[in-house]
Structure 1
């Protein structure tokens, strides 16, 4: 799976929420200042070339839809982060959040409960 730029990820977030849409629909969902139509159209074409989007054509206008689900993208991205920055160690990842992001004891307890629940399933 090819890496996405920050702007490409932003467009994918919109399309995951919309499930499908034309360039104008995507632009409407983006924060101000709105990017130019041609900029968004170019990024969407690039996302299609990378295999993230598909389209249906309606008289020269394209309606885009995601080919890669948000969860699949998240899993791929998190595996890369885990490998690149945390030596494939979930413990290192969680220690980072506990230390650098000031994860509270309550949040850690909730995490332990989630892990216990998943292991019992």
Structure 2
């Protein structure tokens, strides 16, 4: 399960604008890939009260990973698109990471 701070910038001390909530599990036998189910919950700023839902395969050792946006709520109702995830920092001892998500969304 995940319930991580969603910040404006890569710096963990930057403004928290929401939460990244969901879960992941191992999804591959021959490489390291996760099945990600994640909702970006906006709790502050111009998208407050809205969400973006992501569901897809995350091959975590790739520099950039693409996952689909499957919906949203509020300002992102009927959202479709994709996210590009990039691991900025990873601590192998603790498992902590900073992951940048570039979000490309359209609405029908």
TM-score range (shorter-chain normalised) is under 0.3
- Structure ranking higher in helix proportion: 1
What's the TM-score once normalised by structure 2's chain length? 0.26
By relative contact order (CA 8 Å, sep 6+), the higher-ranking structure is: 1
- Structure ranking higher in strand proportion: 2
Asked which structure has the greater CA Rg, the reply is 1
What's the TM-score once normalised by structure 1's chain length? 0.25
